[in-house]
């Protein structure tokens, strides 16, 4: 097996034993990027020179006999809405096509201190608004399992890079499923932590009460290691929770006998693809064989999550994106005759159609006379959704559902039908509305494409989510499957 296809924990052992050097590893993954990027298009920026410099620094530490940290020397990449000092951060938008932040996000600084090697920044739906990566203003990323299909979104570049072995792990952001849905489409592991578990400082905001940063990895153990590195309280983020961070690797390998798992009937209703349903039901049987007690339950307000989300998220987006005016940073239309026309033309030319659509929806929902009828009502529905989960978690240790109602669709298939596209996040959105942790991992294939299994946990109980996911993963071979990409 080639080094770029190994997991972070496998590579850690090889670096520690000096079987490979950090420079050899970085070079192997950079070569892989060069070979595959014309097809996959996961990256917007590649930082090859900086990566090799960092790798050399790691090799010097190894030569001195210093202890190697779990992610030290491991090549990784970041979704392009995470600020990186001195490196372009575009959010997949023309309005930030030349923006270079003067500081780095807290998670970026944490990974840098851990010795992880940054390879570059990854493609995404513009300002994280999308479910297919087709809303990137640069180019669509393609699914490594089938280059004619979408990798999911908005963290499509992050999921595709891991699936194609163009990075050992990546960080994405999840507002309504933007880590888990692309992880499902690309057959990798994606974790959305509890809201407040990971600092959002330096994450370019979409919807501030929903956004959360999380890892996309090749297996569950890597997911635990990356979460360990990025979790924790941060004074720079007022929404960061001051909650102790456990050792997530401690629970890996512990059996799940006697654990109670709820299976919400609302997630198996009309709209669920038959091939996906078959694989999810097989996964539930596997969990039962591992000793878990799986029972049908109900989350009655599930059907209202999607419409409530598409009021709350656009409302927050309309507020957050008001800062892009062509004055302080980013793109400015220099042909405008006055300030007002400059604002209007800058936003008109800088934002893509989906971002404009959501800004208009959000502005309308917050406008005088409509606030109570739309935004306030959506917040009340959000409370009902959270209470549904609270009642379920009084009885169950975790909840298991499909990640997406379908496998990856073809590029261009849904781009003209926003509602059909929004339905791709039907099963992930309730988790964000309730602020809960959830993971997606592969549970088989339908139509030759990966199917994602979603495990939802109690607030700040990522440990149980990882424990169940690890037991399921290790009892199957799905995580070992790799797309057969032809190298240039």
Kindly tell me the burial class for residue 149, based on how many C-beta atoms sit within 10 Å of its own C-beta (0-12, 13-18, 19 or more). Answer: buried
Alpha helices in 148-273 (DSSP H): 156-163, 180-186, 220-230
Q: Which two structure tokens, joined as six digits, stand for 40?
A: 């996959």
Q: Tell me how far CA of residue 149 lies from CA of 131, 167, 396, 415, 418, in angstroms.
A: 12, 20, 36, 12, 17
Alpha-carbon radius of gyration of the chain: 21
Pairing of strands 169-174, 75-79: parallel
Q: Tell me how far CA of residue 55 lies from CA of 33, 76, 217, in angstroms.
A: 17, 12, 20
CA distance linking residue 80 with residue 96, whole number of Å: 11
157-166 burial, b for 16+ CB within 10 Å, e for fewer? bbbbbbbbbb
Catalytic residues: 79, 154, 178
CB 70 within 8 A of CB 225: yes
CB atoms near residue 207 (< 10 Å): 23
Instruction: Please give the backbone phi and psi of residue 315, each rounded to the nearest 5 degrees, phi first.
Output: -60, -45
Q: Which residue has the tokens 């987006």?
A: 317
């Amino acid at each position: 097996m080639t080094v770029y296809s190994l997991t972070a924990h496998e590579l850690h052992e090889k670096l520690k034993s000096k079987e490979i050097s950090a420079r050899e590893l970085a070079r192997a993954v950079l070569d892989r990027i060069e070979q595959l990027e014309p097809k996959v298009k996961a990256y917007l920026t590649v930082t090859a020179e900086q990566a090799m410099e960092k790798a050399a620094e790691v090799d010097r530490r190894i030569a001195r006999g210093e202890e190697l940290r779990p992610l030290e020397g491991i090549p990784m990449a970041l979704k392009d809405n995470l600020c990186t000092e001195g490196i372009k951060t575009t959010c997949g938008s023309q309005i930030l096509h030349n923006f270079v932040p003067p500081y780095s996000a807290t998670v970026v600084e944490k990974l840098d201190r851990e010795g992880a090697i940054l390879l570059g920044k990854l493609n995404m739906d513009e300002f994280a608004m999308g479910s297919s990566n087709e809303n990137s203003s640069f180019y669509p990323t393609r699914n490594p399992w089938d280059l004619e299909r979408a990798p999911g979104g908005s963290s499509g570049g992050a999921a595709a890079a891991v699936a194609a072995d163009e990075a050992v792990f990546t960080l994405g952001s999840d507002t309504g499923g933007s880590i888990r849905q692309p992880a499902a489409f690309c057959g990798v592991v994606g974790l959305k932590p509890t809201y407040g578990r990971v600092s959002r400082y330096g994450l370019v905001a979409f919807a501030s009460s929903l956004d959360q940063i999380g890892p996309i990895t090749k297996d569950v153990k890597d997911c635990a290691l990356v979460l360990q590195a990025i979790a924790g309280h941060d004074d720079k983020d007022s929404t960061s929770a001051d909650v102790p961070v456990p050792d997530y690797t401690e629970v890996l390998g512990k059996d799940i006998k006697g654990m109670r798992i709820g299976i919400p009937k609302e997630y198996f209703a009309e709209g669920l693809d038959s091939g996906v349903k078959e694989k999810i039901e097989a996964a539930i049987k596997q969990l039962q064989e591992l000793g878990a007690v799986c029972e049908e339950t109900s989350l009655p307000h599930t059907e209202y999550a999607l419409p409530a989300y598409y009021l709350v998220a656009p409302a927050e987006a309309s507020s957050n994106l008001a800062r892009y005016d062509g004055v302080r940073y980013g793109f400015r239309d220099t042909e405008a005759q006055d300030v007002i026309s400059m604002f209007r033309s800058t936003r008109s030319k800088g934002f893509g159609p989906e971002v404009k659509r959501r800004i208009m929806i959000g502005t309308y929902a917050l406008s005088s006379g409509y606030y109570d009828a739309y935004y306030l009502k959506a917040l009340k529905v959000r409370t009902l959704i959270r209470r549904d989960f609270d009642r379920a978690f009084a009885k169950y240790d975790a909840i298991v559902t499909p990640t997406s109602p379908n496998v990856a669709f073809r590029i261009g298939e849904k781009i003209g039908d926003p509602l059909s596209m929004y339905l791709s996040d039907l099963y992930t959105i309730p988790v964000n509305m309730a602020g809960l942790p959830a993971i997606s991992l592969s549970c088989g294939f339908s139509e030759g494409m990966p199917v994602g299994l979603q495990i939802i946990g109690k607030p700040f109980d990522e440990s149980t989510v990882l424990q169940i996911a690890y037991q399921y993963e290790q009892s199957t071979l799905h995580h070992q499957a790799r797309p057969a990409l032809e190298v240039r």
